[in-house]
Chain A
Amino acid sequence: MTNMPLDNQKTIQFEVMRYKPGLDDAPTIENFSIPFTDDMSVLQGLQYIKDHLDGSLSFRWSCRMAICGSCGMMINNEPALSCQSFIRDYYPGKIRVEALQHFPVEKDLVIDASDFVGKLESIKPYIVPKEERSLEEGEYLQTPRQRDEYEQFSSCINCMLCYAACPQYGLDNQFTGPGVLALLHRYNADSRDGAKEERMEIVNAEEGVWGCTLVGYCSEVCPKGVDPANAVNQNKINSTMDYFLHFLKPGKGKK
């Protein structure tokens, strides 16, 4: 894939986190010198290493166009999609590439995402129709304002950059975390959905929205313009309302 022009070749230093499970006690940093062109992403730099310098380097990637959410990494200590980060923007400095922060490291730049995936499944990340409609009745209609309530949150690609940005998740991974709570809000805020009651139990829990201290870095690093901090903190209000409303609805007072 990489056809390197030989004249005026610029090179940049990559400092890549390496970790071999079973062999290394802790991750180390390995240096690579990468020839690059202005159109190359950090992901392509890693692919150059794998193709030409060290085939044992492990990292995840798929679409190369910021939609699959697989190639999230720490680039110079900031969570970013490596396909979307261009080498030219770091030149002539170095590029330090590390596995996504706050997740257990499986090997090199590959992290164990099972905690995130488990949490994602737990929130029922799909619309549970409020009322069943037959096909003849037509589609579920929504006003532009109703759509506006959740639209930005539906852009999430599960890349987990917000988790790498969240120190509360790093300190205690019981916290449901920004991405999953933003997606939870995406469905709860949808006028067609009818599963809010069930999801509110996750919101209200100690590990739910109340684990957030509004650091706000999650919203800064999101590559899709989602604002998880907004979703989480709107739900602090919803959670408070929910708490007091339970007193007014006898028979529904679970907690």
Chain B
Amino acid sequence: MSSRKTYVRPMKGWWLKNPFYVRYMIRESTSVFVTLYAAILLSGLICLSRGEDAWQLWISVMNHPLFIVFHFLALAACLYHAVTWFKVAPKVAPNFYIGSRRVPDMTITLIQYIIAVVCYFLLYWIIWRF
């Protein structure tokens, strides 16, 4: 009896259709760079444990322009990931209260930046101190 014939629109290429989705996909794809960087760093540690020759070989491979370019790309990807993550973190966090007032989203984002900066300086200090 019913003459309904609904049309379901295809989703092909959905993430290119809105700048918001493009930014989301970039945020998610930064994980590829983080994974590769972690693997490279791990290979460096393995080389270090195998003695000086292996370590020197790893260093010389790292000096290849392609690896230097990759490290800059990975740094950019990590920074993009950090900035976007700090921005969405208040959505993931439970509600925090000081007294009876809810901690605003901005404060949560700001605290993360402060923690990040403190960590960087701490790391910098540890490396140069020891």
**B20 / chain A contacts, CB cutoff of 8 Å:** 215, 217, 220
Q: Looking across the interface, which residue of chain B has its beta carbon closest to that of A104?
A: B6
Q: Looking across the interface, which residue of chain A has its beta carbon closest to that of B3?
A: A22
Q: Are B7 and A104 in contact (CB under 8 A)?
A: yes
The interface-forming segment of B10-18, B51-59, B70-78, B116-124 is B10-18
| Chain A residues within 8 Å of chain B by Cβ, number | 36
**A27 / chain B contacts, CB cutoff of 8 Å:** 7, 9
Contacting residue for A145 out of B11, B17, B24, B100, CB 8 A = B100
Query: Contact residue range for chain B?
Result: 20 to 34
The interface-forming segment of B32-40, B41-49, B60-68, B91-99 is B91-99
CB distance from B7 to the nearest CB of A (A): 4
**CB-CB contacts below 8 Å: A57-72 with B:** none
CB distance from B99 to the nearest CB of A (A): 9
Q: Are A77 and B3 in contact (CB under 8 A)?
A: no
Cα–Cα distance between A112 and B11 once the two chains are bound (Å): 17
**A233 / chain B contacts, CB cutoff of 8 Å:** 91-92
Q: Are A144 and B9 in contact (CB under 8 A)?
A: no
- Cβ of A26 within 8 Å of any chain B Cβ, yes or no, is yes
Q: Are B91 and A216 in contact (CB under 8 A)?
A: yes
Q: Looking across the interface, which residue of chain B has its beta carbon closest to that of A25?
A: B7
**B129 / chain A contacts, CB cutoff of 8 Å:** none
- Cβ of B69 within 8 Å of any chain A Cβ, yes or no, is no
- Cβ of B80 within 8 Å of any chain A Cβ, yes or no, is no
Cα–Cα distance between A213 and B93 once the two chains are bound (Å): 15
**B5 / chain A contacts, CB cutoff of 8 Å:** 21-22
Q: Are B102 and A171 in contact (CB under 8 A)?
A: no
- Chain B residues packing against A (C-beta within 8 Å): 3-9, 11, 14-15, 17-18, 20-21, 24, 28, 88, 90-95, 97, 100, 102
Given A167-B11, A167-B21, A217-B24; 5 other pairs, CB 8 A cutoff: A21-B6, A24-B7, A112-B6, A149-B95, A217-B18
